[in-house]
Structure 1
Amino acid sequence: MIAHLTGTLATTAADHAVIDVGGIGYLFGASTRTLTALGATGERVTVHTEMLVAEDSIRLVGFASAGERDWFRLLTSVQGVGARVALAILSILDPTELTRAVVAQDKAMVARANGVGPKLAERIVRELKDKAGGAIAGAPGLPPPPAGTASADALSALANLGFRPAEAAGAVKAAEEELGPGATLDALVRIALKKASRA
């Protein structure tokens, strides 16, 4: 599994780009938002990636942030949403806007994306609210923890250990309340694991 790539941006196109890593060019699909965020060719960039494996192909999808990649995974977990539709949604909505749309059940906001009709938009906001629960928003109606914070990293750590998003969010929130502001990542994860195991 390739989690991220760091190298020189070689070329960009309407829906993909190539990054040169040690003389090897990796082609990856991406949203227009990510392609814009990458900057000019020749610059050194880091791209978070998701590897898609099918019977007849292996391809990479790239993201400017880990948050966008997480949303791609959530979106493609919904029936009827493939990589192309997920990237179309991520091209018009950033992770914060998607969070608001799902929390508010705003299907019209999601339906603005190419290839997303009203029925699919309704299914997306309904299923993602159920699947991601409090993890999408940290708590209902609140924005997710800022990327790079101990809370966000703790949520990611628990998700990587196999906890469901809602379980991870609840455990991290309980750990934050117990430890108070300024808690370290190690402490948050340790206490959150204890909270989650009791649930």
Structure 2
Amino acid sequence: MIAKLRGILDSTGEDWCVIDVNGVGYLVFCSGRTLNHLSSMGENVSLLIDTHVREDHIHLFGFVSELERDWFRLLQTVQGVGAKVALAILSVAGPDELTQSIAAQDKTTVSRASGVGPKVATRIVNELKDKVAKFAMTPVQAGLKGDGAAPVAVTEGVGDIQDAVSALVHLGYKQADAWVAVNTVARELGEDADVKKLIRLGLKELSQ
């Protein structure tokens, strides 16, 4: 099972790239966002790989971050969402945007992806709404740097956000609503965010 590839970027297409690893070219399918963050042709690249083995083929799917790979796997737990559709969704929305839209039960984001009709979009937001908390972002979001450099995982503050969301849920608010409220105020507070402030301002946000 291939879990990671490191080599030279040989060529790219609309949804794929070829990585030359010691003279062997590996065809890797990727989202548009991943492809946009790869190095130039002939330069070294490193991708996390999700390997799909079927009777008639072996497909490699590549990601620049564990978070994107986790979303790729999670999306495919929804009926009607295969690897191709999951990549299409990740091409139009990053992990943080997906978390926000699903937590808010907003089908618009996933509906932008090719192959996602109204029924599939509805299933995605309904079936994943209780699972998005594990992908919570800090106010300084995890993911890709804007300058195209390697992905940076940011974990500081995640525990406070999750604790605040949990507290609001115990007060009777829906998890999706609590998550949106807490994440909104967390971004406004930045480094000043702590559990007490997140809960207090989260309640204020929910009361509006």
TM-score (norm 2): 0.66
In the alignment, the residues of structure 2 paired with residue 143 and residue 54 of structure 1 have an alpha-carbon distance, to the nearest angstrom, of 40
| Contact kept? 1:46, 1:64, Cα under 8 Å | yes
In the alignment, the residues of structure 2 paired with residue 28 and residue 3 of structure 1 have an alpha-carbon distance, to the nearest angstrom, of 12
| Contact kept? 1:31, 1:87, Cα under 8 Å | yes
Flag the structure with more relative contact order, 1 or 2, with Cα contacts below 8 A and sequence separation at least 6.
2
Greater shift after overlay, 85-94 or 33-42?
33-42
In the alignment, the residues of structure 1 paired with residue 83 and residue 49 of structure 2 have an alpha-carbon distance, to the nearest angstrom, of 13
In the alignment, the residues of structure 1 paired with residue 4 and residue 12 of structure 2 have an alpha-carbon distance, to the nearest angstrom, of 17
In the alignment, the residues of structure 1 paired with residue 78 and residue 156 of structure 2 have an alpha-carbon distance, to the nearest angstrom, of 26
Determine what percentage of the aligned residue pairs are the same residue.
53
In structure 2, the residue matched to 1:161 is none
In structure 2, the residue matched to 1:134 is 133
Matched positions, count: 150
1:117-132 alignment, distance < 5 Å: 117-130=117-130, 132=131
| Contact kept? 1:34, 1:63, Cα under 8 Å | yes
In structure 1, the residue matched to 2:28 is 28
Q: Does 1:148 align with 2:153?
A: yes
| Contact kept? 1:9, 1:18, Cα under 8 Å | yes
In structure 2, the residue matched to 1:57 is 57
| TM superposition shift of 1:117 | 0.8
| TM superposition shift of 1:145 | 7.0
For the aligned residue pairs, the C-alpha RMSD in angstroms reads: 2.3
Amino acid at match of 1:79: Q
1:38 match: secondary structure: coil
In structure 2, the residue matched to 1:163 is none
Distance 1:38 1:27, change over 3 A: same
2:46 match: secondary structure: strand
In structure 2, the residue matched to 1:46 is 46
In structure 2, the residue matched to 1:109 is 109
In the alignment, the residues of structure 2 paired with residue 40 and residue 5 of structure 1 have an alpha-carbon distance, to the nearest angstrom, of 16
| Contact kept? 2:99, 2:132, Cα under 8 Å | no
Q: Does 1:17 align with 2:17?
A: yes
| Contact kept? 2:8, 2:45, Cα under 8 Å | yes
Quick check: which one's helix share is greater?
1
2:17 match: secondary structure: strand
Amino acid at match of 1:53: V
CA-to-partner distance for each residue in 1:121-150, whole Å, 9 max, x for gaps?
1100111123x2521327xxx779735345
Runs of 5+ consecutive residues of structure 1 not aligned to the other structure = 153-199
2:37 match: secondary structure: helix
In the alignment, the residues of structure 1 paired with residue 82 and residue 38 of structure 2 have an alpha-carbon distance, to the nearest angstrom, of 23
TM-score (norm 1): 0.69
